[in-house]
Amino acid sequence: MPHQILKVMSSNKIILRNDQIELIEELANVHERIGMPPAMSKILGLLAISDETELTFDQIKDTLELSKSAVSQALNHLLMSKRLSYKTKIGDRKRYFHLRIVDWDIHILEQFEGVSSLITVFKKIIANRPAETVEFNQNLEQMTNFLSLVHSQVIALHQKIEKKKS
Protein backbone atom coordinates (compact mmCIF):
# COMPACT_ATOMS: atom_id res chain seq x y z
CA MET A 1 0.00 0.00 0.00
CA PRO A 2 1.51 3.40 -0.99
CA HIS A 3 2.23 6.14 1.47
CA GLN A 4 -0.28 8.85 2.00
CA ILE A 5 0.99 11.93 0.13
CA LEU A 6 0.17 15.18 1.82
CA LYS A 7 0.77 18.51 0.18
CA VAL A 8 1.54 21.27 2.64
CA MET A 9 0.85 24.25 0.34
CA SER A 10 2.60 26.86 2.47
CA SER A 11 1.95 30.32 1.04
CA ASN A 12 4.91 32.57 0.43
CA LYS A 13 2.77 35.62 -0.10
CA ILE A 14 4.44 38.74 1.18
CA ILE A 15 2.45 41.34 3.05
CA LEU A 16 2.00 44.68 1.37
CA ARG A 17 0.45 47.90 2.56
CA ASN A 18 -2.42 49.31 0.55
CA ASP A 19 -0.35 52.20 -0.72
CA GLN A 20 2.23 49.71 -1.93
CA ILE A 21 -0.38 47.72 -3.82
CA GLU A 22 -1.60 50.89 -5.48
CA LEU A 23 1.92 51.86 -6.48
CA ILE A 24 2.61 48.41 -7.89
CA GLU A 25 -0.50 48.67 -10.02
CA GLU A 26 0.34 52.20 -11.11
CA LEU A 27 3.84 51.26 -12.21
CA ALA A 28 2.54 48.10 -13.87
CA ASN A 29 0.02 50.19 -15.78
CA VAL A 30 2.77 52.43 -17.11
CA HIS A 31 4.56 49.36 -18.41
CA GLU A 32 1.40 47.90 -19.87
CA ARG A 33 0.73 51.15 -21.73
CA ILE A 34 4.04 50.73 -23.52
CA GLY A 35 3.09 47.21 -24.54
CA MET A 36 4.40 44.95 -21.80
CA PRO A 37 2.13 42.05 -20.81
CA PRO A 38 0.37 42.21 -17.42
CA ALA A 39 2.32 39.48 -15.63
CA MET A 40 5.71 40.94 -16.53
CA SER A 41 4.54 44.44 -15.68
CA LYS A 42 3.32 43.36 -12.26
CA ILE A 43 6.58 41.60 -11.49
CA LEU A 44 8.54 44.74 -12.30
CA GLY A 45 6.14 46.70 -10.12
CA LEU A 46 6.43 44.32 -7.19
CA LEU A 47 10.23 44.28 -7.30
CA ALA A 48 10.35 48.07 -7.37
CA ILE A 49 7.93 48.62 -4.52
CA SER A 50 8.24 45.74 -2.07
CA ASP A 51 10.37 46.49 0.98
CA GLU A 52 12.58 43.52 0.11
CA THR A 53 14.27 44.13 -3.19
CA GLU A 54 15.04 40.44 -3.72
CA LEU A 55 12.18 37.98 -3.92
CA THR A 56 11.93 34.27 -4.63
CA PHE A 57 9.94 32.59 -7.34
CA ASP A 58 7.24 31.54 -4.89
CA GLN A 59 7.04 34.91 -3.19
CA ILE A 60 6.38 36.48 -6.57
CA LYS A 61 3.91 33.77 -7.54
CA ASP A 62 1.93 33.85 -4.31
CA THR A 63 1.97 37.61 -3.90
CA LEU A 64 0.82 38.32 -7.43
CA GLU A 65 -1.46 35.27 -7.53
CA LEU A 66 -0.12 33.96 -10.81
CA SER A 67 0.48 30.43 -11.97
CA LYS A 68 3.92 28.84 -11.79
CA SER A 69 4.28 28.78 -15.53
CA ALA A 70 3.20 32.38 -15.95
CA VAL A 71 5.84 33.40 -13.42
CA SER A 72 8.46 31.14 -14.95
CA GLN A 73 7.91 32.50 -18.43
CA ALA A 74 7.67 36.12 -17.35
CA LEU A 75 10.83 35.86 -15.23
CA ASN A 76 12.80 34.24 -18.03
CA HIS A 77 11.65 36.88 -20.45
CA LEU A 78 12.65 39.64 -18.05
CA LEU A 79 16.01 37.98 -17.43
CA MET A 80 16.69 37.71 -21.15
CA SER A 81 15.69 41.29 -21.79
CA LYS A 82 18.07 42.29 -18.96
CA ARG A 83 15.41 43.90 -16.81
CA LEU A 84 16.04 41.43 -13.98
CA SER A 85 18.84 39.42 -12.50
CA TYR A 86 19.03 37.03 -9.57
CA LYS A 87 21.30 36.02 -6.72
CA THR A 88 21.71 32.73 -4.93
CA LYS A 89 22.69 32.18 -1.34
CA ILE A 90 24.84 29.36 0.00
CA GLY A 91 22.88 26.49 1.42
CA ASP A 92 19.76 27.75 -0.36
CA ARG A 93 18.52 26.41 -3.63
CA LYS A 94 16.19 29.31 -4.36
CA ARG A 95 17.00 32.20 -6.63
CA TYR A 96 16.45 35.72 -5.40
CA PHE A 97 15.20 37.89 -8.22
CA HIS A 98 15.77 41.60 -8.31
CA LEU A 99 15.58 44.54 -10.69
CA ARG A 100 18.75 45.28 -12.62
CA ILE A 101 18.54 48.79 -11.34
CA VAL A 102 22.32 49.25 -11.08
CA ASP A 103 22.46 49.42 -14.85
CA TRP A 104 19.34 51.49 -15.29
CA ASP A 105 21.24 53.52 -17.86
CA ILE A 106 21.89 50.69 -20.30
CA HIS A 107 18.20 49.91 -20.18
CA ILE A 108 17.08 53.49 -20.81
CA LEU A 109 19.60 53.82 -23.62
CA GLU A 110 18.18 50.65 -25.13
CA GLN A 111 14.71 52.15 -25.11
CA PHE A 112 16.17 55.06 -27.00
CA GLU A 113 17.16 52.73 -29.78
CA GLY A 114 13.55 53.12 -30.93
CA VAL A 115 14.20 56.79 -31.62
CA SER A 116 17.30 55.89 -33.59
CA SER A 117 15.41 53.55 -35.86
CA LEU A 118 12.71 56.16 -36.40
CA ILE A 119 15.37 58.67 -37.44
CA THR A 120 16.87 56.12 -39.79
CA VAL A 121 13.56 55.39 -41.52
CA PHE A 122 12.67 59.07 -41.79
CA LYS A 123 15.99 59.81 -43.43
CA LYS A 124 15.35 57.10 -45.99
CA ILE A 125 11.88 58.46 -46.61
CA ILE A 126 13.18 61.97 -47.11
CA ALA A 127 15.71 60.70 -49.62
CA ASN A 128 12.94 58.95 -51.55
CA ARG A 129 10.30 61.66 -51.61
CA PRO A 130 9.47 63.57 -54.80
CA ALA A 131 10.69 67.17 -54.77
CA GLU A 132 7.19 68.47 -55.51
CA THR A 133 5.69 68.07 -52.04
CA VAL A 134 7.77 70.90 -50.69
CA GLU A 135 6.02 71.71 -47.43
CA PHE A 136 5.55 68.09 -46.50
CA ASN A 137 9.21 67.37 -47.09
CA GLN A 138 10.30 70.38 -45.08
CA ASN A 139 8.19 69.36 -42.12
CA LEU A 140 9.51 65.84 -42.30
CA GLU A 141 13.04 67.18 -42.29
CA GLN A 142 12.38 69.49 -39.35
CA MET A 143 10.93 66.64 -37.38
CA THR A 144 13.82 64.36 -38.19
CA ASN A 145 16.30 67.06 -37.23
CA PHE A 146 14.55 67.57 -33.93
CA LEU A 147 14.62 63.88 -33.17
CA SER A 148 18.31 63.73 -34.06
CA LEU A 149 19.01 66.65 -31.79
CA VAL A 150 17.12 65.05 -28.92
CA HIS A 151 18.93 61.82 -29.51
CA SER A 152 22.38 63.34 -29.39
CA GLN A 153 21.50 65.42 -26.34
CA VAL A 154 20.45 62.32 -24.47
CA ILE A 155 23.64 60.54 -25.41
CA ALA A 156 25.62 63.56 -24.26
CA LEU A 157 23.76 63.73 -20.96
CA HIS A 158 24.47 60.08 -20.39
CA GLN A 159 28.16 60.50 -21.07
CA LYS A 160 28.33 63.31 -18.56
CA ILE A 161 26.89 60.98 -15.96
CA GLU A 162 29.26 58.21 -16.92
CA LYS A 163 32.23 60.52 -16.33
CA LYS A 164 30.96 61.51 -12.91
CA LYS A 165 30.93 57.84 -11.94
CA SER A 166 34.60 57.31 -12.78
Partner DNA sequence: AAAATGGTTCTTTTTTTTGTGAACTAAAAA
Partner DNA sequence: TTTTTAGTTCACAAAAAAAAGAACCATTTT
Decide: is 16 part of the binding site for a copy of itself (CB under 8 A): no
CA atoms of 66 and 16, how far apart (whole Å):
16
Decide: is 27 part of the binding site for a copy of itself (CB under 8 A): yes
The partner in contact with residue 126, picked from a copy of itself, DNA, none with C-beta cut-offs of 5 to 8 angstroms by kind, is none
**Smallest distance, Å, CB 61 to a copy of itself?**
22
Output the CA torsion sign for 23, 94, 88, 76.
negative
Q: How many CB atoms lie within 10 A of CB 113?
A: 10
**Smallest distance, Å, CB 91 to a copy of itself?**
23
Q: Please select the residue that binds a copy of itself; options are 68, 106, 159, 161, rule is CB under 8 A.
A: 161
Alpha helices in 55-166 (DSSP H): 57-64, 68-80, 104-128, 134-165
User: Is 99 within 8 Å of 84 (Cβ atoms)?
Assistant: yes
Decide: is 39 part of the binding site for a copy of itself (CB under 8 A): no
| Chain contacts with DNA (rule: CB under 7 A) | 2-3, 5-6, 8, 35, 37-40, 56-58, 65-70, 72-76, 91-95
